[in-house]
Chains A and B, each alone.
Chain A
C-alpha cells in the first residue's frame, strides 16, 4: 500500500526525503514528519500490540496523548529507548524503530491468545487468579506474568549519553506554545518580566500548526518572540511535573531528532522556579466507546486533521466519522476538501446545528444522524463498519479504511492537578475544568475549557443492539481496559473511582488517563447511577509523559554521581598500591599489599611492624571542630559525659557524646589548646552530625554562651605515627617541642613546627603503642608524609590502613562507634562507666541513663569473646545463643560486633554485644553457623597490654 501522502499541503519539507526503518523495513518520509505521520503516509496502519490482550493497534492520536503507538528506538548499544510515542518521534535519516509487545512479529503475535481468552482475563484477574497456591507464585505465576507484562523492554547496557541539567528562574513561565500560550507571551513581551515559553513539540504553534489559515499569524508571532529580549522559547521541552512553590521540572530533548548527534548532552533537565505560571496545554479529544474502537485505522478526528494539515497525509482513502461533537464534522470537511473520500458522517445525536448539515450537503457527504457504529470490521486494519440506528434497528454495513471518532474534548489539566489546583465539573462539557488555584498559576485557552470547537453530547458509550457483556469497547487503550471491565468492577462493589482505577488499571501508568479518564468516569457514573461529581476524579501524577532516567539523573553519574573525598595524602596511597574502602564520603586506604600478599598477609605484616617498630597512618579524615570562646569549657562540659572544666591547656581527654536519649552517638580525643580554645576530634562519619548537634544546643538551648564552633576537618592533614620508634623518628624533625616522656606525656598536645611548617602535635594512641598524631596545614600533608617515609626507612616504617588500625584497636578493646555500638548502647553497656562524670549534675543524655529501661538488668553489654578454637575467626554480625541444644528458632542473646585475627596474640579476638554480658565473664556461649556450632568464652574487652605499659614510655 502506498500513496497516502497528498500531492500538496502540510509543513513537511518535501525537498528533503528521509530514510528510516520500522521493524526492519526501510521507509521514506520527509523532514518534519513524525514516525507516525511517515508510517501512515506509507500506508502502515499497524504500529503495535496492546499491553494485556496483545491486540493489533494503530495510531489513535497525533500528539503526546497517544496511548497505542508505543515504539522503541535504538541508536546502538545502551542507546535503546522504549515506550516512545510514534506521534512524538521525529524521523531522521537512519532512525531505527521497532514495535513492542509482540512475539515473534507484529503481524503474528502469539501473545494475542490472551485476546481469545479475554473472557478469562477480566478486571482484577491477576488479583483473583494468582492467589493460590502460594508455592506456585515464585516458580510459575510471577515468571509467566513478567514475560507477558510490561511496556517495552528495559535496555541492558549502560547508557553512554550525557545529560545536562540547569536551574532557571523567571517571572512568568508559559507551558504550551499554541495560540493561547503565544498570545500570553506576546502580551509579556516588552515588559521587564523574564519569560520562558516551553512547548513539547519540535515546532511552536500547537493547534495552529494544523490550521493553515493561522500560519501567517504564527510566523509573525514567532518572529516577534524571537527578538523579544525578555522571552526564552524552549521547544522539544516537556514540562513533566509541577511541584511546590511554582517549581516546574521540564526535560529538553537536544539530540534525538538529529541523524548524527555531535558531542554534548542528549537531554537537559530544567529546574524552573517561576513567579507566575500560565498553563496553555490545550485540550485532548475524547475517543468514543463502542465495539472495535481499537482496530488500527480507528482514530481521533482531530488527529486525522493534524495528519492532513500538518503532515500532508491522508489517514485513509475512504474515511467515516463517528461523531458526538461538532468538531469532528469540521475535521471531516477539511479532509473532504483535500480530496479524501468520505464514506459517511455518523452522529449519535438526533439533530445537529443546521450549518453543519448545509456544509456537508455542499461537500456531497452522506450523513446519518441518530446512528452509531456497532462494529468495526477487520483485524489488522479497518475494512468497514456496521452502523445502526440508536434503537438498534436498520443495521447497515459501510466500506471504509479509516474511522474517525469525535467524542468531545477534555481540558488538559494534568499540570494544574500536579499543582493541587481544584477542579470544577462542567456538565455541558462533560469534563473537569480548572477551579481554584493553589499556586500563582492560571490556565488559558482550551485547557481552561474555553474553545470554539462547537458543542456535543456527553455519552458513556454508544448505543448498541449487541450484548454489551460480549463486546470489547475500549476505554483505556494503553492499559487494555474495556467498558465491561469497569462495569464489572462496579458490580463487584467498587464505588470510589480511586478503587476502580486500581482494580481495572484504567488511567494508570505512563498514559495517566489522557484519553481515558473521562470516559471511564462516565461509565462508572452510569453503572453506579450517581453523578460524576460524586465519584470524584483520580489524581494525575507526574510525569506528564515518561521521561528518561538519564534526564532525571542529569550530571549525577560516574565520577559526578557523588563526590569521593580524598585526603592530601591519598595520591601517595594510590601510587603505592593501597586498596581503598569508602568511609562516609571519604576514600580511605584499607591496607597496602606488597606483591603476592592478600589482605590478611598485608594486615598481619602491618600489625607486626607497628607493635615492633613503627607504622604510619593517614588519619586526616577524622572530624575536627575548633571550639573557641570564654565559655568553651562550660559548653563541652554540658555536651560530653565527662568533666572538661579542669582539663589543663596542653592536655587531651577522651570525650564520649550521647544523644539526649542516653545512647552513644560519637566519641573522640580532644585537646585544650588554651583556656578558651579546644581542638575536638570526632569519628570520620560523625563529623557533620556532631557539629550539627552541637550547633543545635548552642543556638537554641544555650544561646547565652559565648562560644563558637568551626569545622576544621579539612584545615589539617593528620598523620599518625605509632610504634615504639615513633619518638625517635620525630625528634630530629620537630622544632619547639620537647618530646621526652616527662615533658610530653601520653594524652597531651603541643604546638610547634615540624619540617618548617606549624603543627599541632598530639601524643595519643589508638593502637596501644607509643603514638603521635601530627596535624599540619592540609597542603603540606603529602610532603610531610613522604619525608617521614624517607627518614623512617631506618626503622622499617610501614604504612598501614584502616584494617590494621581496626585490628590493633580491637586488641586494646577500643570501640568503634557505629560498629560496636548501634544507637541502643549506653556508656554503661559499652563498659565506659569511667568516662561518665558521676558528679556532674547534667550533661546531654544524663537523665536518660536513669530511665527504668536503661538501668534494668539483662541489657545487651559489650564484652570480649575468645573462641575455644583460637584459629576460628568469628563472622561479624554472627548471632549468639546460650543453649546450643534448643530448637530452632533459637533465642538469640546478642551478636558479634568486631572480629579479627590478632597477629600479635596468635589467635582470634572478638567483641560482642551480649545480654547481661558483664555478668557472664568466663561463660561459654555458642555461635550457630551454617553446618557447625562454634563456642567462645566471654572475656574482658582488653586483650593486649591491659596495664597500658607500652603507652607510657
Chain B
C-alpha cells in the first residue's frame, strides 16, 4: 500500500495494466517519465557530458512516446507503455524488462 495523491481530480484515461491484465482508471496510476533509460552499469566511468545526458535529457517525443507508468494504487508495478502524445491514446502497455515495442 502507498499513500494516496493529495488532490481530487477527474480521472480520464483507461490504462491496461500488463500485470493485472485489466483496464483500470487513470486514478490508480502514476506517470513515471520516459521509458527505456537504464541506469548506467558504472556511473563513475562516465564522462560529465554523458552523465548529464542520462540525468536530464529526454526525447519529449511528439507522437509515439515510450513511457513508464506505475499501477501505484493497484498491483504496485512499474510498466512500460507506448502512448501517442498528440491523441493521448495508448498503443500498448507491457511489463518492465520486456523489449521496446
Contacts and interface: CB of A to CB of B under 8 A. Distances in A.
Interface of A: 243-245, 247, 249, 271, 273, 420, 438, 553, 556, 562, 585, 660-661, 687-688, 691-692, 695-697, 699-701, 703, 711, 841-842, 846-848, 850-852
B99 interface: no
A661 B96 contact: no
11 contacts: A244-B88, A245-B13, A247-B10, A247-B14, A249-B10, A556-B8, A692-B2, A699-B77, A842-B42, A848-B51, A850-B48
Nearest to B43: A847
Nearest to B90: A245
B12 interface: yes
Nearest to A563: B4
A660 B51 CA distance: 10
A271 B10 contact: yes
B43 A688 contact: no
A243 B10 contact: yes
Contacts, number: 77
B2 A846 contact: no
A691 B78 CA distance: 13
B44 A244 contact: no
B100 to A, nearest CB: 14
B84 to A, nearest CB: 11
A449 to B, nearest CB: 25
Given A661-B55, A692-B70, A700 B96 contact: yes
A245 B6 contact: no
A533 B11 CA distance: 34
A850 B47 CA distance: 10
Given A661-B55, A695-B76, A851-B52, A688 B3 contact: yes
B14 A692 contact: no
Contact of B30 (A556, A692, A841): A692
A669 to B, nearest CB: 21
Given A247-B12, A852-B48, 12 more contacts: A245-B12, A247-B14, A273-B14, A556-B8, A691-B2, A695-B78, A696-B78, A701-B38, A847-B43, A847-B51, A850-B44, A851-B48
Nearest to A851: B48
Nearest to B54: A660
B44 A847 contact: yes
Contacts of A842: 42-44
B1 interface: yes
Contacts of B42: 842
Nearest to A555: B8
Contact of A703 (B44, B48, B89, B97): B97
Contacts of B8: 553, 556, 562
A244 B70 contact: no
Nearest to A661: B55
B55 to A, nearest CB: 6
Contacts of B12: 243-245, 247
B62 interface: no
B43 to A, nearest CB: 4
A850 B2 CA distance: 34
Interface string B22-46: 0001000010100000110011101
Interface residues of B, number: 35
A700 B46 CA distance: 21
Contacts of B2: 688, 691-692, 711
Given A243-B12, A846-B43, A846-B44, A696 B51 contact: no
B46 to A, nearest CB: 7
B28 to A, nearest CB: 13
A699 B39 CA distance: 12
B60 interface: no
A701 B48 contact: no
Contacts of B13: 244-245
Contact of B51 (A553, A688, A692, A851): A851
B78 A700 contact: yes
Contact of A420 (B43, B44, B72, B87): B87
The 3 closest A-B pairs by CB, nearest first: A847-B43, A245-B14, A688-B3
A513 to B, nearest CB: 24
Contacts of A841: 44
A38 B68 CA distance: 58
A711 B89 CA distance: 33
Contacts of A697: 39
Nearest to A841: B44
A243 B70 CA distance: 22
Contacts of A691: 2
B70 to A, nearest CB: 7
A687 B55 CA distance: 24
B68 to A, nearest CB: 8
A694 B1 CA distance: 14
Contacts of A688: 2-3
A331 B97 CA distance: 67
Most A-side CB within 10 Å, residue of B42, B43, B88:
B43
Contacts of A244: 12-14, 88-89
Interface string B49-65: 00110010000000000
Contacts of A585: 3, 6
Contacts of B70: 692, 695-696
Nearest to A244: B12
A848 B43 CA distance: 9
Contacts of A848: 51, 55
A97 to B, nearest CB: 31
Contacts of B7: 562
Contacts of B6: 562, 585
A692 B43 contact: no
Most A-side CB within 10 Å, residue of B3, B39, B48, B52:
B3
Given A249-B10, A851-B48, A852-B48, A711 B1 contact: yes
Contacts of A245: 12-14
Contacts of B89: 244
Nearest to B1: A711
A546 to B, nearest CB: 17
Contacts of B11: 247, 271
Contact of A687 (B3, B30, B78): B3
Nearest to A709: B76
Contacts of A243: 10, 12
Nearest to B77: A699
